[in-house]
Structure 1
Amino acid sequence: MKENVLKSFVRDTYKNTSAIPYIITGQVFMFVLIHIFELLSFDEVIAIDLFQWTYQHLSLPTSFNTFIQQPWSLITHPFIYKGIFNILFDCLWLYWIGNIFLNFLNNRQLLTVFLGGLLIGGLLYIGMSSFPYFSSQAKYWNTTTFGLAALVSSVIILVPNLEVNMFIFGNIKLKTIAIVYLVLQFVFLALEIPAAAVIYVIISFFGLCFIWQLQKGNDWSRMFKKSMRPKHLRVVQGKSIHDAINSNRKHPSDLPNQELIDQILDKISVSGYESLNSLEKEILFKASKQDE
Protein backbone atom coordinates (compact mmCIF):
# COMPACT_ATOMS: atom_id res chain seq x y z
CA MET A 1 0.00 0.00 0.00
CA LYS A 2 1.42 3.37 -1.01
CA GLU A 3 2.29 5.64 1.91
CA ASN A 4 0.28 8.81 2.36
CA VAL A 5 2.15 11.74 0.78
CA LEU A 6 1.44 14.10 3.68
CA LYS A 7 2.55 11.53 6.25
CA SER A 8 5.74 10.87 4.30
CA PHE A 9 6.46 14.60 4.02
CA VAL A 10 6.00 15.17 7.75
CA ARG A 11 8.19 12.19 8.63
CA ASP A 12 11.00 13.22 6.29
CA THR A 13 10.85 16.88 7.32
CA TYR A 14 10.91 16.39 11.08
CA LYS A 15 12.83 13.12 11.36
CA ASN A 16 16.10 14.80 12.40
CA THR A 17 16.84 17.06 15.32
CA SER A 18 17.49 20.19 13.25
CA ALA A 19 15.60 23.23 14.52
CA ILE A 20 15.27 24.71 11.03
CA PRO A 21 12.02 22.95 9.96
CA TYR A 22 10.36 23.91 13.24
CA ILE A 23 11.35 27.58 12.92
CA ILE A 24 10.10 27.76 9.33
CA THR A 25 6.88 25.97 10.30
CA GLY A 26 6.25 28.53 13.05
CA GLN A 27 6.85 31.40 10.64
CA VAL A 28 4.49 29.99 8.01
CA PHE A 29 1.82 29.18 10.60
CA MET A 30 1.85 32.71 12.03
CA PHE A 31 1.88 34.24 8.53
CA VAL A 32 -1.26 32.31 7.59
CA LEU A 33 -2.93 33.02 10.93
CA ILE A 34 -2.48 36.80 10.96
CA HIS A 35 -3.68 37.04 7.36
CA ILE A 36 -6.79 35.06 8.27
CA PHE A 37 -7.29 37.69 10.97
CA GLU A 38 -6.79 40.38 8.32
CA LEU A 39 -9.44 38.81 6.10
CA LEU A 40 -11.91 38.55 8.98
CA SER A 41 -11.31 42.18 9.92
CA PHE A 42 -11.68 43.33 6.31
CA ASP A 43 -15.00 41.53 5.92
CA GLU A 44 -16.13 42.94 9.29
CA VAL A 45 -16.78 39.43 10.58
CA ILE A 46 -15.28 40.54 13.88
CA ALA A 47 -15.70 43.90 15.58
CA ILE A 48 -12.03 44.61 16.32
CA ASP A 49 -9.07 44.76 13.95
CA LEU A 50 -7.57 41.48 15.12
CA PHE A 51 -4.85 41.61 12.48
CA GLN A 52 -3.47 44.96 13.70
CA TRP A 53 -3.84 43.97 17.35
CA THR A 54 -1.88 40.73 16.79
CA TYR A 55 0.76 42.45 14.70
CA GLN A 56 1.43 45.13 17.30
CA HIS A 57 1.41 42.82 20.32
CA LEU A 58 3.69 40.18 18.81
CA SER A 59 6.10 42.55 17.05
CA LEU A 60 8.95 44.26 18.87
CA PRO A 61 7.97 47.78 20.02
CA THR A 62 10.18 50.85 19.86
CA SER A 63 10.25 51.75 23.55
CA PHE A 64 11.03 50.02 26.84
CA ASN A 65 7.74 51.18 28.35
CA THR A 66 5.76 49.31 25.70
CA PHE A 67 8.16 46.34 25.80
CA ILE A 68 7.60 45.89 29.54
CA GLN A 69 3.90 45.46 28.79
CA GLN A 70 4.58 42.81 26.13
CA PRO A 71 7.95 41.13 26.93
CA TRP A 72 6.96 38.04 24.93
CA SER A 73 7.51 40.08 21.76
CA LEU A 74 11.25 39.40 22.11
CA ILE A 75 10.42 35.75 21.33
CA THR A 76 7.49 36.18 18.93
CA HIS A 77 8.78 38.97 16.66
CA PRO A 78 10.82 36.65 14.34
CA PHE A 79 7.60 34.83 13.38
CA ILE A 80 5.65 37.88 12.23
CA TYR A 81 5.62 38.72 8.51
CA LYS A 82 3.31 40.88 6.44
CA GLY A 83 4.63 40.29 2.92
CA ILE A 84 4.75 36.89 1.26
CA PHE A 85 8.02 37.66 -0.55
CA ASN A 86 9.69 38.65 2.72
CA ILE A 87 8.82 35.38 4.43
CA LEU A 88 9.68 33.36 1.33
CA PHE A 89 13.08 35.06 1.00
CA ASP A 90 13.97 34.64 4.67
CA CYS A 91 12.80 31.01 4.86
CA LEU A 92 14.87 30.07 1.82
CA TRP A 93 17.99 31.71 3.24
CA LEU A 94 17.47 30.12 6.65
CA TYR A 95 16.99 26.68 5.08
CA TRP A 96 19.99 27.00 2.75
CA ILE A 97 22.54 28.65 5.04
CA GLY A 98 21.28 26.77 8.09
CA ASN A 99 21.81 23.37 6.48
CA ILE A 100 25.27 24.35 5.26
CA PHE A 101 26.08 25.35 8.85
CA LEU A 102 24.80 22.00 10.14
CA ASN A 103 27.03 20.11 7.71
CA PHE A 104 30.00 21.28 9.78
CA LEU A 105 28.67 22.11 13.24
CA ASN A 106 25.77 20.99 15.43
CA ASN A 107 22.25 22.12 16.20
CA ARG A 108 23.16 23.68 19.54
CA GLN A 109 25.74 25.90 17.86
CA LEU A 110 23.25 26.85 15.14
CA LEU A 111 20.69 27.93 17.73
CA THR A 112 23.32 29.87 19.68
CA VAL A 113 24.23 31.89 16.59
CA PHE A 114 20.71 32.32 15.20
CA LEU A 115 18.79 32.92 18.45
CA GLY A 116 21.69 34.94 19.86
CA GLY A 117 21.44 37.26 16.87
CA LEU A 118 17.69 37.59 17.30
CA LEU A 119 17.72 38.25 21.05
CA ILE A 120 20.74 40.57 21.13
CA GLY A 121 19.49 42.40 18.05
CA GLY A 122 16.01 42.74 19.51
CA LEU A 123 17.23 44.24 22.77
CA LEU A 124 19.57 46.62 20.96
CA TYR A 125 16.74 47.70 18.67
CA ILE A 126 14.53 48.64 21.61
CA GLY A 127 17.40 50.57 23.19
CA MET A 128 18.51 52.42 20.06
CA SER A 129 14.95 53.27 19.05
CA SER A 130 14.67 55.28 22.26
CA PHE A 131 17.37 57.72 21.11
CA PRO A 132 15.94 60.92 19.56
CA TYR A 133 18.05 60.53 16.41
CA PHE A 134 16.52 57.13 15.60
CA SER A 135 13.08 57.38 17.23
CA SER A 136 11.47 59.35 14.39
CA GLN A 137 12.12 56.55 11.89
CA ALA A 138 11.69 53.59 14.22
CA LYS A 139 8.74 51.27 13.74
CA TYR A 140 7.50 47.91 15.01
CA TRP A 141 10.20 45.37 14.29
CA ASN A 142 9.74 41.74 13.23
CA THR A 143 11.20 39.03 10.90
CA THR A 144 14.39 37.00 11.38
CA THR A 145 16.69 39.63 9.85
CA PHE A 146 19.09 39.83 12.81
CA GLY A 147 19.25 36.07 13.23
CA LEU A 148 20.05 35.62 9.54
CA ALA A 149 22.73 38.32 9.78
CA ALA A 150 24.54 36.31 12.45
CA LEU A 151 24.09 33.02 10.61
CA VAL A 152 25.12 34.26 7.16
CA SER A 153 28.17 36.10 8.50
CA SER A 154 29.28 32.99 10.41
CA VAL A 155 29.71 30.91 7.23
CA ILE A 156 32.16 33.50 5.88
CA ILE A 157 34.67 32.25 8.45
CA LEU A 158 33.34 28.70 8.80
CA VAL A 159 33.66 27.67 5.12
CA PRO A 160 35.47 30.50 3.28
CA ASN A 161 36.45 28.35 0.30
CA LEU A 162 33.17 26.50 -0.23
CA GLU A 163 31.93 27.06 -3.79
CA VAL A 164 28.30 27.21 -4.93
CA ASN A 165 27.11 26.77 -8.51
CA MET A 166 25.11 29.87 -9.47
CA PHE A 167 23.89 28.68 -12.88
CA ILE A 168 24.89 31.35 -15.43
CA PHE A 169 27.53 32.80 -13.07
CA GLY A 170 29.30 29.49 -12.56
CA ASN A 171 30.96 28.53 -9.30
CA ILE A 172 31.13 31.33 -6.74
CA LYS A 173 32.59 31.14 -3.26
CA LEU A 174 29.98 31.13 -0.53
CA LYS A 175 31.74 33.94 1.33
CA THR A 176 31.27 36.19 -1.72
CA ILE A 177 27.53 35.45 -1.80
CA ALA A 178 27.29 36.03 1.96
CA ILE A 179 29.10 39.38 1.79
CA VAL A 180 26.88 40.59 -1.07
CA TYR A 181 23.78 39.53 0.89
CA LEU A 182 24.92 41.34 4.04
CA VAL A 183 25.84 44.53 2.18
CA LEU A 184 22.52 44.68 0.30
CA GLN A 185 20.54 44.07 3.49
CA PHE A 186 22.50 46.79 5.25
CA VAL A 187 21.80 49.29 2.45
CA PHE A 188 18.06 48.53 2.48
CA LEU A 189 17.89 48.91 6.26
CA ALA A 190 19.95 52.11 6.22
CA LEU A 191 17.48 53.70 3.80
CA GLU A 192 14.42 52.63 5.81
CA ILE A 193 15.40 52.15 9.47
CA PRO A 194 18.87 53.53 10.36
CA ALA A 195 18.81 52.06 13.87
CA ALA A 196 18.28 48.56 12.45
CA ALA A 197 21.16 49.08 10.00
CA VAL A 198 23.59 49.87 12.83
CA ILE A 199 22.43 46.83 14.80
CA TYR A 200 22.73 44.70 11.66
CA VAL A 201 26.46 45.44 11.53
CA ILE A 202 26.85 44.57 15.22
CA ILE A 203 25.01 41.26 14.87
CA SER A 204 26.98 40.36 11.74
CA PHE A 205 30.15 40.86 13.77
CA PHE A 206 28.67 38.60 16.48
CA GLY A 207 28.35 35.78 13.93
CA LEU A 208 31.96 36.27 12.83
CA CYS A 209 33.18 36.29 16.43
CA PHE A 210 31.36 33.07 17.25
CA ILE A 211 33.31 31.15 14.58
CA TRP A 212 36.59 32.93 15.37
CA GLN A 213 36.26 31.89 19.00
CA LEU A 214 35.20 28.37 18.04
CA GLN A 215 38.35 27.97 15.96
CA LYS A 216 40.35 29.01 19.01
CA GLY A 217 38.63 26.31 21.06
CA ASN A 218 36.08 28.59 22.77
CA ASP A 219 32.62 27.26 22.01
CA TRP A 220 30.12 29.82 23.32
CA SER A 221 27.30 27.32 22.88
CA ARG A 222 28.71 25.05 25.60
CA MET A 223 27.01 27.19 28.24
CA PHE A 224 23.73 25.63 27.04
CA LYS A 225 25.08 22.07 27.00
CA LYS A 226 24.13 19.52 29.62
CA SER A 227 27.08 17.70 31.09
CA MET A 228 27.43 14.39 29.26
CA ARG A 229 31.11 13.62 29.86
CA PRO A 230 32.08 10.04 30.63
CA LYS A 231 33.25 9.36 34.17
CA HIS A 232 36.75 8.52 33.00
CA LEU A 233 38.46 10.44 30.22
CA ARG A 234 41.98 9.78 29.10
CA VAL A 235 43.79 12.76 27.59
CA VAL A 236 45.47 11.80 24.33
CA GLN A 237 48.75 13.48 23.58
CA GLY A 238 51.51 12.91 21.11
CA LYS A 239 49.34 10.99 18.66
CA SER A 240 47.94 11.79 15.27
CA ILE A 241 44.21 12.36 15.03
CA HIS A 242 43.80 9.11 13.11
CA ASP A 243 45.68 7.04 15.72
CA ALA A 244 43.95 8.73 18.62
CA ILE A 245 40.52 8.07 17.15
CA ASN A 246 41.21 4.41 16.54
CA SER A 247 42.77 3.90 19.98
CA ASN A 248 39.70 5.31 21.72
CA ARG A 249 36.98 3.55 19.74
CA LYS A 250 36.07 0.03 20.69
CA HIS A 251 33.31 0.02 18.11
CA PRO A 252 32.88 2.04 14.87
CA SER A 253 29.79 3.77 16.26
CA ASP A 254 31.57 4.95 19.45
CA LEU A 255 32.40 8.65 19.65
CA PRO A 256 35.86 9.98 20.55
CA ASN A 257 36.25 12.16 23.60
CA GLN A 258 36.23 15.93 23.48
CA GLU A 259 40.02 16.23 23.14
CA LEU A 260 39.91 14.33 19.86
CA ILE A 261 37.05 16.41 18.53
CA ASP A 262 38.99 19.56 19.45
CA GLN A 263 41.97 18.25 17.48
CA ILE A 264 39.78 17.86 14.41
CA LEU A 265 38.36 21.37 14.86
CA ASP A 266 41.89 22.73 15.20
CA LYS A 267 42.82 21.04 11.95
CA ILE A 268 39.83 22.70 10.25
CA SER A 269 40.86 26.12 11.57
CA VAL A 270 44.37 25.69 10.15
CA SER A 271 43.77 23.88 6.87
CA GLY A 272 40.02 24.06 6.27
CA TYR A 273 37.36 21.36 6.21
CA GLU A 274 38.63 20.03 2.89
CA SER A 275 41.84 18.85 4.59
CA LEU A 276 40.00 16.23 6.68
CA ASN A 277 40.10 12.61 5.58
CA SER A 278 36.96 10.48 5.38
CA LEU A 279 37.38 9.05 8.88
CA GLU A 280 37.77 12.48 10.47
CA LYS A 281 34.70 13.77 8.62
CA GLU A 282 32.72 10.76 9.82
CA ILE A 283 33.76 11.35 13.43
CA LEU A 284 32.94 15.06 13.26
CA PHE A 285 29.57 14.34 11.66
CA LYS A 286 28.60 11.77 14.29
CA ALA A 287 29.81 14.02 17.09
CA SER A 288 27.73 16.94 15.82
CA LYS A 289 24.58 14.82 15.65
CA GLN A 290 25.07 13.23 19.05
CA ASP A 291 25.98 16.56 20.60
CA GLU A 292 22.67 18.26 19.82
Structure 2
Amino acid sequence: MKKESGIKMFFRTTYQTGSPIPYILSIQVLLFVLIHIADLLVELNVIKFPLYDWLVGQLSLPNTFAAFIRQPWSLITYPFLYVGLFNIVFDCLWLYWIGNSFLNFLNKRQFLFVFFSSFLLSGVVYLALGNIDFLAKGSMPFLFSNAMGLASVVAGLLLLAPNMEIRLFLFGTVKFRTIAIIFFTLQLLFYIFANRSGAVAYGFAIAWGFLFMQQLKNGNDWSTIFSIKPKQKLKIVHQTPKTPSYRSYKADLPNQEVIDDILDKISQSGYESLSSREKEILFKVSREEQE
Protein backbone atom coordinates (compact mmCIF):
# COMPACT_ATOMS: atom_id res chain seq x y z
CA MET A 1 0.00 0.00 0.00
CA LYS A 2 1.43 3.37 -1.05
CA LYS A 3 2.12 5.67 1.86
CA GLU A 4 0.24 8.99 1.78
CA SER A 5 2.46 12.07 1.63
CA GLY A 6 2.40 14.61 4.44
CA ILE A 7 0.99 17.37 2.24
CA LYS A 8 -1.83 15.18 0.96
CA MET A 9 -2.63 14.05 4.47
CA PHE A 10 -2.70 17.69 5.65
CA PHE A 11 -5.15 18.72 2.92
CA ARG A 12 -7.31 15.66 3.47
CA THR A 13 -7.57 16.09 7.23
CA THR A 14 -7.93 19.88 7.00
CA TYR A 15 -10.13 20.65 4.02
CA GLN A 16 -12.10 17.46 3.46
CA THR A 17 -13.81 17.30 6.84
CA GLY A 18 -16.83 19.31 5.70
CA SER A 19 -16.15 22.08 8.20
CA PRO A 20 -16.05 25.67 6.85
CA ILE A 21 -13.65 26.80 9.58
CA PRO A 22 -10.36 25.81 7.82
CA TYR A 23 -11.41 27.79 4.74
CA ILE A 24 -12.18 30.90 6.80
CA LEU A 25 -8.85 30.64 8.62
CA SER A 26 -6.97 30.12 5.34
CA ILE A 27 -8.43 33.30 3.81
CA GLN A 28 -7.47 35.31 6.89
CA VAL A 29 -3.90 33.99 6.97
CA LEU A 30 -3.40 34.36 3.21
CA LEU A 31 -4.60 37.97 3.26
CA PHE A 32 -2.39 38.72 6.27
CA VAL A 33 0.66 37.36 4.46
CA LEU A 34 -0.11 39.26 1.25
CA ILE A 35 -0.50 42.69 2.86
CA HIS A 36 2.71 42.20 4.85
CA ILE A 37 4.59 41.19 1.72
CA ALA A 38 3.37 44.50 0.30
CA ASP A 39 4.67 46.25 3.41
CA LEU A 40 8.05 44.54 3.02
CA LEU A 41 8.31 45.64 -0.60
CA VAL A 42 7.72 49.24 0.45
CA GLU A 43 10.27 49.01 3.29
CA LEU A 44 12.90 47.63 0.91
CA ASN A 45 12.16 50.42 -1.59
CA VAL A 46 11.22 47.86 -4.24
CA ILE A 47 8.12 49.92 -4.90
CA LYS A 48 7.48 53.57 -4.11
CA PHE A 49 3.71 53.38 -3.89
CA PRO A 50 2.43 52.91 -0.25
CA LEU A 51 0.79 49.60 -1.18
CA TYR A 52 0.36 48.33 2.39
CA ASP A 53 -1.53 51.43 3.55
CA TRP A 54 -3.62 51.42 0.40
CA LEU A 55 -4.62 47.76 0.83
CA VAL A 56 -5.53 48.20 4.50
CA GLY A 57 -7.59 51.28 3.66
CA GLN A 58 -9.40 49.56 0.80
CA LEU A 59 -10.16 46.30 2.63
CA SER A 60 -11.18 47.71 6.03
CA LEU A 61 -14.66 49.13 6.64
CA PRO A 62 -14.71 52.96 6.89
CA ASN A 63 -16.89 54.67 9.49
CA THR A 64 -19.03 56.75 7.10
CA PHE A 65 -21.39 55.95 4.26
CA ALA A 66 -19.68 58.58 2.11
CA ALA A 67 -16.39 56.66 2.24
CA PHE A 68 -18.15 53.29 2.03
CA ILE A 69 -19.80 54.19 -1.30
CA ARG A 70 -16.33 54.43 -2.83
CA GLN A 71 -15.39 50.93 -1.58
CA PRO A 72 -18.58 48.87 -1.07
CA TRP A 73 -16.60 45.60 -1.17
CA SER A 74 -15.19 46.47 2.27
CA LEU A 75 -18.43 45.22 3.89
CA ILE A 76 -17.36 41.72 2.78
CA THR A 77 -13.57 42.01 3.09
CA TYR A 78 -13.21 43.66 6.50
CA PRO A 79 -13.84 40.46 8.53
CA PHE A 80 -10.84 38.76 6.92
CA LEU A 81 -8.36 41.63 7.36
CA TYR A 82 -5.71 41.54 10.10
CA VAL A 83 -2.68 43.75 10.58
CA GLY A 84 -1.25 42.49 13.89
CA LEU A 85 0.38 39.09 14.38
CA PHE A 86 -0.89 38.58 17.94
CA ASN A 87 -4.40 39.56 16.92
CA ILE A 88 -4.64 37.08 14.05
CA VAL A 89 -3.06 34.21 16.02
CA PHE A 90 -5.45 34.72 18.95
CA ASP A 91 -8.54 35.06 16.77
CA CYS A 92 -7.64 32.05 14.61
CA LEU A 93 -7.18 29.84 17.66
CA TRP A 94 -10.35 31.20 19.22
CA LEU A 95 -12.40 30.66 16.03
CA TYR A 96 -11.06 27.12 15.63
CA TRP A 97 -12.00 26.18 19.18
CA ILE A 98 -15.33 28.01 19.46
CA GLY A 99 -16.38 27.18 15.92
CA ASN A 100 -15.84 23.46 16.37
CA SER A 101 -17.65 23.54 19.72
CA PHE A 102 -20.59 25.24 17.96
CA LEU A 103 -20.57 22.59 15.23
CA ASN A 104 -20.72 19.85 17.88
CA PHE A 105 -24.26 21.03 18.66
CA LEU A 106 -25.55 22.53 15.41
CA ASN A 107 -24.92 22.18 11.70
CA LYS A 108 -22.69 23.94 9.18
CA ARG A 109 -25.52 26.02 7.68
CA GLN A 110 -26.43 27.46 11.07
CA PHE A 111 -22.82 28.30 11.86
CA LEU A 112 -22.29 30.09 8.56
CA PHE A 113 -25.54 32.03 8.95
CA VAL A 114 -24.65 33.32 12.42
CA PHE A 115 -21.04 34.02 11.51
CA PHE A 116 -21.55 35.92 8.26
CA SER A 117 -24.87 37.61 8.98
CA SER A 118 -23.31 39.26 12.03
CA PHE A 119 -20.63 40.83 9.79
CA LEU A 120 -23.20 42.34 7.47
CA LEU A 121 -25.60 43.59 10.13
CA SER A 122 -22.88 44.91 12.48
CA GLY A 123 -21.18 46.57 9.51
CA VAL A 124 -24.39 48.42 8.62
CA VAL A 125 -24.82 49.50 12.25
CA TYR A 126 -21.22 50.70 12.31
CA LEU A 127 -21.73 52.77 9.16
CA ALA A 128 -24.97 54.24 10.49
CA LEU A 129 -23.23 55.47 13.64
CA GLY A 130 -20.37 57.12 11.72
CA ASN A 131 -22.23 60.44 11.48
CA ILE A 132 -22.57 60.75 15.27
CA ASP A 133 -19.61 62.84 16.43
CA PHE A 134 -19.33 61.32 19.90
CA LEU A 135 -19.31 57.74 18.59
CA ALA A 136 -17.16 58.49 15.53
CA LYS A 137 -14.26 59.68 17.69
CA GLY A 138 -11.47 57.22 18.41
CA SER A 139 -7.96 56.22 17.44
CA MET A 140 -9.22 53.73 14.83
CA PRO A 141 -11.66 55.24 12.28
CA PHE A 142 -12.24 51.93 10.51
CA LEU A 143 -13.25 48.37 11.28
CA PHE A 144 -11.52 45.06 10.53
CA SER A 145 -11.09 41.49 11.89
CA ASN A 146 -13.71 38.79 12.46
CA ALA A 147 -14.55 40.00 15.99
CA MET A 148 -18.23 40.53 15.10
CA GLY A 149 -18.66 36.98 13.82
CA LEU A 150 -16.87 35.53 16.83
CA ALA A 151 -19.08 37.56 19.16
CA SER A 152 -22.27 36.14 17.63
CA VAL A 153 -20.98 32.56 17.66
CA VAL A 154 -19.84 32.83 21.28
CA ALA A 155 -23.15 34.42 22.31
CA GLY A 156 -25.15 31.69 20.60
CA LEU A 157 -23.07 28.94 22.19
CA LEU A 158 -23.34 30.66 25.56
CA LEU A 159 -27.14 30.55 25.40
CA LEU A 160 -27.16 26.97 24.13
CA ALA A 161 -24.67 25.42 26.56
CA PRO A 162 -23.77 27.88 29.35
CA ASN A 163 -22.71 25.11 31.74
CA MET A 164 -20.32 23.44 29.32
CA GLU A 165 -17.00 22.93 31.08
CA ILE A 166 -13.63 23.66 29.50
CA ARG A 167 -10.26 22.39 30.71
CA LEU A 168 -7.71 25.19 30.77
CA PHE A 169 -4.02 24.45 31.23
CA LEU A 170 -3.39 26.90 34.09
CA PHE A 171 -6.88 27.29 35.59
CA GLY A 172 -8.28 23.77 35.52
CA THR A 173 -11.94 23.21 34.65
CA VAL A 174 -13.84 26.43 33.96
CA LYS A 175 -17.46 26.89 32.88
CA PHE A 176 -17.90 28.27 29.40
CA ARG A 177 -20.05 31.17 30.57
CA THR A 178 -17.13 32.48 32.64
CA ILE A 179 -14.81 32.42 29.63
CA ALA A 180 -17.44 34.06 27.42
CA ILE A 181 -18.08 36.92 29.87
CA ILE A 182 -14.34 37.64 30.16
CA PHE A 183 -13.98 37.51 26.36
CA PHE A 184 -16.87 39.94 25.81
CA THR A 185 -15.61 42.33 28.49
CA LEU A 186 -12.07 42.56 27.09
CA GLN A 187 -13.27 43.09 23.52
CA LEU A 188 -15.79 45.76 24.54
CA LEU A 189 -13.17 47.64 26.57
CA PHE A 190 -10.84 47.63 23.56
CA TYR A 191 -13.52 49.03 21.26
CA ILE A 192 -14.66 51.64 23.77
CA PHE A 193 -11.17 53.17 23.83
CA ALA A 194 -10.24 52.60 20.18
CA ASN A 195 -13.50 52.75 18.26
CA ARG A 196 -16.72 53.80 20.00
CA SER A 197 -19.04 53.08 17.11
CA GLY A 198 -17.27 49.73 16.82
CA ALA A 199 -18.18 49.05 20.47
CA VAL A 200 -21.87 49.60 19.69
CA ALA A 201 -21.62 47.36 16.62
CA TYR A 202 -19.90 44.70 18.74
CA GLY A 203 -22.71 44.83 21.29
CA PHE A 204 -25.16 44.43 18.41
CA ALA A 205 -23.27 41.31 17.24
CA ILE A 206 -23.57 39.79 20.71
CA ALA A 207 -27.29 40.52 20.80
CA TRP A 208 -27.70 39.03 17.32
CA GLY A 209 -26.09 35.75 18.41
CA PHE A 210 -28.38 35.56 21.46
CA LEU A 211 -31.44 36.35 19.34
CA PHE A 212 -30.64 33.70 16.72
CA MET A 213 -30.13 31.01 19.34
CA GLN A 214 -33.25 31.99 21.30
CA GLN A 215 -35.32 31.75 18.13
CA LEU A 216 -33.71 28.40 17.31
CA LYS A 217 -34.62 27.08 20.75
CA ASN A 218 -38.18 28.21 20.07
CA GLY A 219 -38.21 26.21 16.84
CA ASN A 220 -37.47 29.07 14.41
CA ASP A 221 -34.32 28.32 12.43
CA TRP A 222 -33.52 31.52 10.49
CA SER A 223 -30.71 29.80 8.61
CA THR A 224 -33.20 27.74 6.61
CA ILE A 225 -33.71 30.71 4.28
CA PHE A 226 -30.51 29.51 2.57
CA SER A 227 -31.58 25.88 2.26
CA ILE A 228 -33.07 24.87 -1.09
CA LYS A 229 -35.54 22.04 -0.85
CA PRO A 230 -36.65 20.28 -4.05
CA LYS A 231 -40.38 20.07 -4.65
CA GLN A 232 -41.77 16.66 -3.85
CA LYS A 233 -45.06 15.06 -4.75
CA LEU A 234 -47.41 14.50 -1.85
CA LYS A 235 -47.24 10.99 -0.52
CA ILE A 236 -49.22 9.40 2.27
CA VAL A 237 -47.06 6.90 4.06
CA HIS A 238 -48.16 4.98 7.12
CA GLN A 239 -45.09 4.32 9.14
CA THR A 240 -44.52 3.34 12.72
CA PRO A 241 -42.14 5.84 14.33
CA LYS A 242 -38.85 4.35 15.41
CA THR A 243 -37.27 5.09 18.73
CA PRO A 244 -33.53 5.67 18.37
CA SER A 245 -31.40 3.07 20.09
CA TYR A 246 -28.64 4.60 22.14
CA ARG A 247 -25.83 2.26 21.22
CA SER A 248 -22.41 3.31 22.38
CA TYR A 249 -19.35 3.59 20.22
CA LYS A 250 -17.07 5.14 22.80
CA ALA A 251 -17.63 4.90 26.55
CA ASP A 252 -21.37 5.61 26.99
CA LEU A 253 -21.67 7.94 23.99
CA PRO A 254 -24.25 7.22 21.25
CA ASN A 255 -23.51 6.45 17.65
CA GLN A 256 -23.40 9.17 14.99
CA GLU A 257 -26.91 8.36 13.75
CA VAL A 258 -28.40 9.22 17.14
CA ILE A 259 -26.42 12.47 17.32
CA ASP A 260 -27.68 13.47 13.86
CA ASP A 261 -31.27 12.71 14.94
CA ILE A 262 -30.89 14.98 17.96
CA LEU A 263 -29.39 17.82 15.89
CA ASP A 264 -32.24 17.51 13.38
CA LYS A 265 -34.71 17.71 16.25
CA ILE A 266 -33.06 20.96 17.42
CA SER A 267 -33.30 22.44 13.93
CA GLN A 268 -36.98 21.55 13.60
CA SER A 269 -38.37 22.04 17.11
CA GLY A 270 -35.74 23.94 19.11
CA TYR A 271 -33.36 23.01 21.88
CA GLU A 272 -36.09 22.97 24.56
CA SER A 273 -37.88 20.13 22.76
CA LEU A 274 -35.04 17.75 23.70
CA SER A 275 -35.56 15.30 26.53
CA SER A 276 -33.21 15.35 29.50
CA ARG A 277 -31.55 12.21 28.11
CA GLU A 278 -30.92 13.86 24.73
CA LYS A 279 -29.50 17.01 26.37
CA GLU A 280 -27.21 14.80 28.44
CA ILE A 281 -26.01 13.06 25.27
CA LEU A 282 -25.13 16.39 23.60
CA PHE A 283 -23.27 17.50 26.69
CA LYS A 284 -21.25 14.28 26.83
CA VAL A 285 -20.38 14.49 23.14
CA SER A 286 -19.20 18.08 23.60
CA ARG A 287 -17.07 17.07 26.61
CA GLU A 288 -15.55 14.19 24.64
CA GLU A 289 -14.63 16.51 21.74
CA GLN A 290 -12.88 18.92 24.11
CA GLU A 291 -10.70 16.20 25.72
TM over 0.5: yes
TM superposition shift of 1:9? 0.4
Structure 1 counterpart SS, 2:105: coil
1:179 corresponding residue in structure 2: 181
In structure 2, C-alpha distance between the alignment counterparts of 1:236 and 1:271, rounded to whole Å = 29
Give the counterpart of 2:158 among 148, 156, 159.
156
Q: Could you report, residue by residue, the CA deviation over 1:92-142 in whole angstroms, capped at 9, with x for unpaired residues?
A: 111100000001101110011111111111111111122111223251211
In structure 2, C-alpha distance between the alignment counterparts of 1:111 and 1:50, rounded to whole Å = 32
After TM superposition, list the pairs within 5 Å mapping 1:60-209 onto structure 2.
Answer: 60-137=61-138, 139-209=141-211
In structure 2, C-alpha distance between the alignment counterparts of 1:199 and 1:62, rounded to whole Å = 11
2:49 corresponding residue in structure 1: 48
Cα pair distance change 1:187/1:259, threshold 3 Å: closer
TM superposition shift of 1:272? 8.1
Cα pair distance change 1:264/1:77, threshold 3 Å: closer
Give the alignment's Cα RMSD to 1 decimal: 3.0
After TM superposition, list the pairs within 5 Å mapping 1:231-242 onto structure 2.
Answer: 231-232=233-234, 242=244
In structure 1, C-alpha distance between the alignment counterparts of 2:266 and 2:96, rounded to whole Å = 30
After TM superposition, list the pairs within 5 Å mapping 1:259-270 onto structure 2.
Answer: 262=268, 265-268=271-274
Cα pair distance change 1:57/1:259, threshold 3 Å: closer
| Residue identity opposite 1:219 in structure 2 | D
Q: Is the contact between residue 235 and residue 259 of structure 1 (CA under 8 Å) also seen in structure 2?
A: no
TM superposition shift of 1:230? 5.3
| Residue identity opposite 2:206 in structure 1 | S
TM-score by length of 2: 0.83
In structure 2, C-alpha distance between the alignment counterparts of 1:142 and 1:33, rounded to whole Å = 16
Q: Is the contact between residue 241 and residue 264 of structure 1 (CA under 8 Å) also seen in structure 2?
A: no
In structure 2, C-alpha distance between the alignment counterparts of 1:237 and 1:158, rounded to whole Å = 33
Deviates more, 1:55-64 or 1:21-30: 55-64
TM superposition shift of 1:277? 8.4
Cα pair distance change 1:273/1:242, threshold 3 Å: closer
1:274 corresponding residue in structure 2: 279
Structure 2 counterpart SS, 1:172: strand
TM superposition shift of 1:178? 1.0
Q: Is the contact between residue 136 and residue 195 of structure 2 (CA under 8 Å) also seen in structure 1?
A: no
TM superposition shift of 1:213? 0.4
TM superposition shift of 1:265? 4.0
Q: Could you report, residue by residue, the CA deviation over 1:243-264 in whole angstroms, capped at 9, with x for unpaired residues?
A: 9xxxxxxxx79x87x7796358
TM-score by length of 1: 0.83
TM superposition shift of 1:46? 1.2
Unmatched tracts of structure 1, length 5 or more = 244-251, 282-292
In structure 1, C-alpha distance between the alignment counterparts of 2:186 and 2:237, rounded to whole Å = 47
Structure 1 counterpart SS, 2:170: helix
Cα pair distance change 1:183/1:220, threshold 3 Å: same
Unmatched tracts of structure 2, length 5 or more = 246-256, 286-291
Residue 215, structure 1, aligned to residue 217, structure 2? yes
Cα pair distance change 1:219/1:233, threshold 3 Å: farther
Cα pair distance change 1:116/1:234, threshold 3 Å: farther
